[in-house]
Structure 1
Amino acid sequence: MTSDGLEDFVAERPVLAHDVVHEGYIWNIVRDKVDLGEGGQVTRELMDHPGAVTVLALDESDRVLMIRQYRHPVGMELWELPAGLLDVPGENPVEAAKRELLEEADLRASEWSLLAEWFNSPGGSNEALRCYLARGISEVPEAERYQRGEEELNMPTRWVPLDEARDAVLAGKIHNPGAVIGILAAVAARDAGWKTLRPADAPWPAHRHYRH
């Protein structure tokens, strides 16, 4: 990646000191002392996050699969897309997306494309996310389905026309960032004849673990 044109690019600064402030169940809070060059130094605390993947499953009727899940930090039940953490060592992000679609929705897809990618909060976290478009949807046989538990148990699902989902986003009725970005990106990609889609295995330099 270069600094030419409208494109983010990798420009890591030397880390002079790195400390774990809090070791959590899923992610840690760390404190880095960073050399900005020309004598400038700053100390930043951030969430060290494994990253995540989101799946926009689209059926032949142009409907998107939505899942409703309780999110304790905001005290709300949110309509979301199937998603999950990149917390399996060595797992390819596309395979993680396939796993999440199977585990959360009992579905498989024959066609996978990269729809969008982003940082949730780059000022305070290194969490990098990707949203994949999954098409050619089929149900997983009941004997092969994942046994869900905890907050994933009994999550309501709904197939929603893509334009209806877009309208819900623009009306402020949907708040999950993966759903908001994925739905708007899918509408834009569809309106462009799907020409903007990238290969599912496209390089991911924005994620530190896949940068090199």
Structure 2
Amino acid sequence: MSGLIGERGESGPSAAGELIDTPESWPVVGRAEHFEGRIVQVRTDRVRMPNGDTTEVVERDIVTHPGSVGVIGLDEQDRVLLIRQYRHPVGRMLWEPPAGLRDVDGEPPWRTAARELAEEAGYRAREWHTLVDVFTSPGMTNERVRVFLARGLSEIPEEEADFERIHEEAEMPVAWVPLDEAVAAVRRGHIHNPLAVMGILSVYAARETGYRDLRAPDAPEG
């Protein structure tokens, strides 16, 4: 049975209109700044929310974030490139795609992704597409992530490398994992990094359509 689901659960092509997230901004009547760190800031907004014929003011804690990018590298054997990195907040070594912060003003996201692919995995790519755009946890943070598909990968010669891996990035192992095996690991709950989960499943879905519906690397962010 096809069709979108309406407000009362009814289905049909016109029940919910176009399936697209849209901008919306409810009035903020007060704001308290709590913390400013190297990457994130924390504040509380007092938001006036409509409630029928009345309005209600509620508090919402917000973590502001510069945004991130991730890269799913795919080779000619349908293998995805993953790195293993220590993540202190969750106390685990996680399998992840190369990824990083959007912390260079004016830099297109795909160029940020190319830089992270080079710095974290030591590869460059000939072909780039946009895979998926997400807000990682929209109930508490404005962090926005774009995950790219990179193909036509080649290893960067050591003499051309102009970066140094430090802290969590030092000695990160790089693995080429068959896409079907990576999908199975996601479904078994063995891979937890959200960029890895979203990226792997998106590549798997894209492969089913012959990669025909992929967006350009500089596609607008809605």
TM-score (norm 1): 0.91
2:115 to 85, 99, 106: 99
Q: Does 1:117 align with 2:133?
A: yes
Residue 92 of structure 2 corresponds to 76
Residue 196 of structure 1 corresponds to 213
1:22 to 35, 42, 45: 35
Aligned equivalents of 2:33, 2:20: Cα separation in 1: 31
1:44 to 52, 57, 60: 60
Q: Does 1:174 align with 2:220?
A: no
Deviation sequence 1:171-212 (CA, Å, 0-9, x none):
11100000001000100000111122111111113xxxxxxx
Q: 5 Å matches for 1:130-145?
A: 130-145=146-161
Deviation sequence 1:77-107 (CA, Å, 0-9, x none):
0000000011112221111111100110111
Counterpart residue identity of residue 133, structure 1:
L
Counterpart residue identity of residue 70, structure 1:
Y
TM-score (norm 2): 0.87
Unpaired segments of 5 or more residues in structure 1?
A: 206-212
C-alpha displacement at 1:12, in angstroms?
1.8
Residue 65 of structure 1 corresponds to 81
SS at match of 2:132: strand
Deviation sequence 1:90-127 (CA, Å, 0-9, x none):
22111111110011011111110000111111111111
Counterpart residue identity of residue 42, structure 1:
V
SS at match of 2:107: coil
Residue 147 of structure 1 corresponds to 164
Deviation sequence 1:118-175 (CA, Å, 0-9, x none):
1111111111111100001111121221211111000011000111100110011100
Unpaired segments of 5 or more residues in structure 2?
A: 1-15
SS at match of 2:172: coil
Residue 184 of structure 1 corresponds to 201
C-alpha displacement at 1:30, in angstroms?
1.2
